[in-house]
Amino acid sequence: MDRIELVVRDDERKKRLEDLLFDRFGGLSKMYLRALVRDGKCEVNGRFENVGYRLSPNDYVEIELDLSRENSMRPQELPLDILFEDQQLIVINKPTEMLVHPTNRDKSGTLLNALSYHFNKRSGLDNGEVIRPGLVHRLDKGTSGVMVIAKTARAHRSLSAQFQKKYVEKRYLALVAGIVREDVGEVDDPIGRFAEEKRWNVKHGGKPALTKYRVRERFARTTLLELEPITGRTNQLRIHSAHIGHPIVGDTARGGMDFVRLCLHAFRLSFWHPVTKEALTFESGVPESFGIAVSANGLT
């Protein structure tokens, strides 16, 4: 453990304690830093304060932490498909098979590694601060599509609140097995975890889960659906698609046709800008691989 001493600058006036720590220790997880404050490992002018404490210039902050944990935000130069970026946030089109954040097994090649490089190394920041990619939602490794990531604490709080209050509109495209007969419909079945199988599925007594769908195009043996998850349960779109007898192509664990990728794509994301309050909508078209999936499997 290292004991670090910090002095609050004039331009950090009224900054929350947690935001100061996030800015100064960009390679450490927010959960870890909050836990240090909660567990009495951080003092402000010799007193224990909560994470929301508003700082003043020349406040003296002491914190005891483990800097060896600073690896989850390790910068790595990787290509990014950027749809929009300003001082508050960035919107990207995530490729399939890219993890959003490092895990105990995979510590590189993730979206956070790429964003850490893009925000800091590429920009050549030299003031000692780090721009932290602030996750407010996630896409599974196999799911491609539009994501928004906060660049400031203010943007992170605003976007997180929008997701929690369901102000954000999310739409997905899914290539599913079989011909979906109804042009529109919904799946309203609870989802829960089966401990013995270590997997999530439709489960009596599980948490409510609702997915709306609309047919975009029918092929000989598959259907392109537009999906709207009204709730946000784990693996909801894959589970609900399989539950109605139309598993997503590539989702072999739930009976889907074998393919090089999961044919699930987040194609539209709408939200309010955290500062300007402007309504923003970003879209990414149908991936070329969906068409390859149709033709390669003789599904046209």
Catalytic residue among 140, 189, 251, 258: 140
Catalytic-residue membership of 258 = no
Nearest to 160 by CA among 145, 168, 30: 168
**∠ Cα 183 184 185 (to 5°):** 135
Long-range contacts of 131-139 (CB under 8 A, 24+ apart): 131/26, 132/22, 132/23, 132/26, 132/30, 132/73, 133/73, 134/159, 135/100, 135/101, 136/160, 136/163, 137/163, 137/168, 138/100, 138/101, 139/94, 139/100, 139/266
Nearest to 271 by CA among 172, 162, 171: 162
What's the Cα-to-Cα distance from 262 to each of 185, 293, 299, rounded to whole Å?
A: 22, 10, 16
What are the catalytic residues?
140
